[in-house]
Every structure is written in C-alpha cells, then in structure tokens.
Structure 1
Amino acid sequence: MNRQSMLPATARTVRVVAHRGASDEHPEHTLAAYRQAIADGADALECDVRLTADHKLVCVHDRRVERTSDGRGVVSEMTYAQLSALDFGGWKGAEHRGAQVLLFEDLLKEALAADRPVGLAVETKHPTRAGGRLEAELVRVLKDHGLADGRAGLVEVMSFSRNALIRLNRLAPGLPAVYLIERRLRPLRPPFAGHAGPGIDLVRKDPGLVARLKAKGLSVRVWTVDEPQDVELCLRLGVDTIITNRPRQVREQLEGR
C-alpha cells in the first residue's frame, strides 16, 4: 500500500470536472463556459455530443434546441449551418447573447491549447437517429488528434448506454470508459468500463454504492455535485472525481480541506 492510499478520504487528490463547462455562470456548452472552467482550475471538461444532419459533431445535451437556444427543432434534423444561426446564450441572460453552437473539435482544440493538461469527459447521447455513427465520428475526430488510443490520458468517454460503450470499446479499446448510472443496476460492473458514474441523487439514497463499486475495482465519478454538503459527502465516501457546474467553488472547497 502506498502512502497516498493511506491518507484519509478528504486529503486525497479528487479530480474536478466541469459539467458542460462552468455552466452555473455561463450558458452550458459554450466557449465562454469552458474557458471559465479552465480559468477556475477544472481538471477536465465534460461535454455531451450529438450529430447534426450533415454529420457534424456538436456539443448539445438535449435532443431538441428549445431549452438552450432561441430556435426550434431536433438537433439531428438540423444542419450545422442552421444551428450556427441560433443564439445559444441568450436564455442565460442578455449578457450572454450571441453564443453559437460549439463544434466538439473546437472544444478539443481549446482544451489542448490550455497552459496545463486539461482533460475531456465526453458523453455520447442516446437514443439518437445517428445510432452507432455517433461513436464512429467521435473516434474519428479523436484519431485525427492522436487521442483515440488513450495513451495521452486526456480523454475519457461516457454513456448511459451499454451498447454505446460496447461500440466505443470496439472502435477505440484504449479509451477509458465511464458507465453512467441513474438507477441501481445489477450487475454493478459495466461492459468495457473501468469507471462508474452514479448521479448524486443515487449516492445520497445509497451511500454504500460507492464502496460496492470500488470493491469491483471501479473508480467512481459522481455527477452533478454543486452543493457544499454533497461535496463533503463525496469526500467522506472516497469518490475519485466530482463532476460539477461550479468548478471554482468545488476547487476552493477541496483546497480548504
């Protein structure tokens, strides 16, 4: 046993991942949100990806654009040009108007240009009419940047879909994979994934889940952890990664321990 593993849970190094960027302050999935997250000290940036009608990989969470833009429609039925004509910032406040839809490749370049290593945690969204083409396009972009084999340690992929994880393992077996969990599942070990991602609601209801996942040899990433008491709970349970909309506040809380 090394010295690090003997330290109490609250003193361990816990990764902070910015959920859709610093999305408590800025519109989610915008360059402003991600640049703020980098400035706030996030270890990695979380994003959701979908395919447009013309097969562009964009960072959008919802199937439809109504919640986060001034437009209407289904992402997969719209071209990148159509999405680019929408305002993806105004819903968060007048000062954010004019933010455009973000190409995944542009986010990747932003992370790579940071003055320190900044990772990406990429969730492929399902169900979608794109099916397996979504994972194929993601891996293609990562290969173009030399990041699909996992050796750089900068990218991990995530999904609630077991089939998506199976496809990702087939296309890029070296990429670390996170099985996202909303409800308690049996068996606890996900397919082709060394990491588990339970939601904070589930962890609150069943704190013993973290220990059971770790007993299976899985590291644990918990989402979306914004409240100080939930950060403390994650620390007590020995969670490895906290995914949050508030990376600066969480970082400050961890550094104050």
Structure 2
Amino acid sequence: MHTARIVCHRGASMAAPENTLASLEGAISMGAYAVEFDIRTSKDEVLYVMHDETVDRTTNGKGRFADLTSAEIDALDAGSWFGPEFAGQMVPRLDVFLAACKGRIATYAEIKTADPARVRDMLAAHGLLADAWTFSFDQSIRAETRARVPDFRRMVLFEHVGSVERATALGAHILEFQADTLTAERVAEAKAAGLVTQVFYGGSDRTVFENAVRSQVEQMNIDDVELFRSVEAEMLSPAS
C-alpha cells in the first residue's frame, strides 16, 4: 500500500486563512501534492481566489463578490478574521496565486464563476496546466469546460455521475468520493478504468480516514492533514 497524495482544501485552511497566499504557503510547507482553491470573477472581469458568493465571512468587507470591482477587492483584508498575525492578507488575484504555485505545487481549480478557458489559459501561461485539474458545481461550467477546453483535466463527483462507467463516458480524469459514497470496490473499479481516485472530507472523523486508507484512495482533498497522516501511518506501519 502507498501513502495518499495530499490535496490541501483551500490551502492549509486549519493553520491560515483559506484561499490566501498564507494558506498556499502552509500547504507547500507541509509537503502537499496539490492545493485546492476557488475562483470567482470581479465586476470588472478580474479573476480571484475566493470561495463564497459574498466577501462577508472571510474579509473585512461586505457585499456580493460579483458586484465589487478589482480595486475594491484589492483593498480588503482577508486575514484578520482568522487571526491578527494574518492581518493584511489580500484576496489573491488568480495570476498572483498561480505565480506562487509555479514549480512548487500542483493545482486543483474549482470554478465558482469564471470562464474555464480563461482559467485554463492562465494555468498554461504559468506552466501549470499539465498537473492541474478542475471541477465546478455549476453544470453549465462543467459542460463548457468539456466542450471548449478538452485539454483541461476534469474531475467529477461520484454523487453526480453515480457510476464509474458514467465518469469514463464523460471523459473525466479524476473521480472524487465523499464519506458516504466511498467503498473499496468503487475505488478498485475506478482505478481499473484509468481514473485517479480522490476523497473529499472536511472533517476530523478518524473512521472516514481509516476507510480511505483501507480503500487505497490515491488522493485526499482534506482540511485535517495532520490527523489523516497520523491515521495513515498507524494503519500502514508493519505492526498494524
């Protein structure tokens, strides 16, 4: 059995404010394989790394992201809400975030509101496209990605497609499971079909991590990296 590759969900989000350069640096410092981040577009068409539809939760501002200009977004403090030591962290522009990733970490770009072709081209410009992959909860964005940028590796959720066969029919590269859809049989079937297997889990329940290790999932898209590595080490040690 091999250790799983770590995908840091919104960066090292338990140690630094999510979707910031600080959380990216934290992910790199802990040796993560990839960083997961979210992409939104400002009122004046600038791409940013931001999860929520509004800036209220993770910045000192208020309002819908899509209603704010880049000048307004650039003036926000995206770190103080997490801790005073992160005061002054900005909402990263996507090009700045990707420049910080280049040569250091792979990228998983979840598109909230953005043109997938623009995202793909920006990744390519930074030399990141070969190891990058994308997903969106917006069905129209998923369809547009398939149609317009077929060289942009795509992930699908098992809960959306319902079977490995459907995932391969859609031309997916990565199949992501959640705690309630993960089984060793499905993981084995996906691997046999040439798909990369991944689990998303934002919690800290050891039993979920134990099931992932037993199922031999290849990638873990998680927040609690320290607990997962501890569980994994215990289960893979010769004494176990």
In the superposition, the TM-score normalised over structure 1's length comes to 0.79
Q: Would you say 1:155 and 2:132 are equivalent positions? A: yes
Tell me the amino acid that sits aligned with residue 79 of structure 1. T
Name the counterpart of 1:238: 216
Whole-Å separation in 2 of the counterparts to 1:178 and 1:89? 30
Partner in structure 1 of residue 175 of structure 2: 196
How far the C-alpha of 1:22 sits from its partner, in A, is: 0.5
Pair 1:41–1:235, CA change in 2 (3 A) = same
Match of 2:116 among 125, 135, 140: 135
**Identity of counterpart residues, as a percentage?**
29
Q: Secondary structure at the match of 1:92?
A: coil
CA distance in 1, matches of 2:196, 2:125: 28
2: distance between equivalents of 1:69 and 1:171? 34
2:15 corresponds to 1:41:
no
Distance 2:5 2:202 in 1: 12
Q: Deviations over 1:31-82 (max 9, x none)?
A: 1111011010101111111111111111111111111111111111111211
1:102 maps to what in 2? 92
- 2 CA distance for matches of 1:217 and 1:232? 24
Aligned residues: 232
Whether contact under 8 Å (1:213, 1:219) holds in the other structure is: yes
| Shift of residue 119, structure 1, vs aligned partner | 0.4
> Does the CA contact (< 8 Å) of 1:42 and 1:251 recur in 2?
no
- Deviation, structure 1 residue 230: 2.1
Contact 1:16 1:247 in 2 (8 A): yes
In structure 2, the CA distance between the partners of 1:230 and 1:160, relative to structure 1 (3 Å rule), is: same
Give the one of 44, 47, 51 matched to 1:57. Answer: 47
C-alpha distance in 2 between matches for 1:70 and 1:196: 36
Q: For residues 113 and 185 of structure 1, what CA distance do their matches in structure 2 show?
A: 35
Residue type of the alignment partner of 2:110: E
Residue identity matched to 2:107? L
- Structure 2 length as normaliser, TM-score? 0.84
1:247 alignment counterpart: 225
- How far residue 250 of structure 1 moved from its aligned partner, in angstroms, is 3.3
Match of 1:168 among 145, 149, 161: 145
Distance 1:40 1:226, change over 3 A: farther
Measure, in 2, the Cα distance between the counterparts of 1:147 and 1:97.
Answer: 29
DSSP 3-state at the match of 1:21: coil
> Superposition RMSD on alpha carbons, in Å?
2.5
Higher relative contact order at CA 8 Å, sep ≥6: structure 1 or structure 2? Answer: 1
CA distance in structure 1 between the partners assigned to 2:219 and 2:200 by the alignment:
9
In 1, Cα distance between equivalents of 2:120 and 2:2 = 32
- Name the counterpart of 1:178: 155
For residue 12 of structure 1, give the secondary structure of its aligned residue in structure 2.
coil
Q: Is the partner of 1:107 in helix, strand or coil?
A: helix
Deviations along 1:97-155, one digit per CA (max 9) or x if unpaired, are 221101121121111153xxx20011111xx4xxxx5212212312323444x3xxx21
Cα deviation code 1:152-204 (max 9, x no counterpart): xx21112234432332233332222101355673674262312112223443x
Instruction: Spell out, residue by residue over 1:4-47, the C-alpha distance to the aligned partner (whole angstroms, 9 max, x if none).
Output: xxxxxxx2242111111100111101111110110101011111
Which amino acid in structure 1 is aligned with residue 21 of structure 2? L
Structure 1 residue matching 2:13: 3-state secondary structure: coil
Which letter does structure 1 place at the counterpart of 2:121? R
Q: 1:200 aligns to what SS in structure 2?
A: coil
- Shifted more, 210-219 versus 50-59: the winner is 210-219
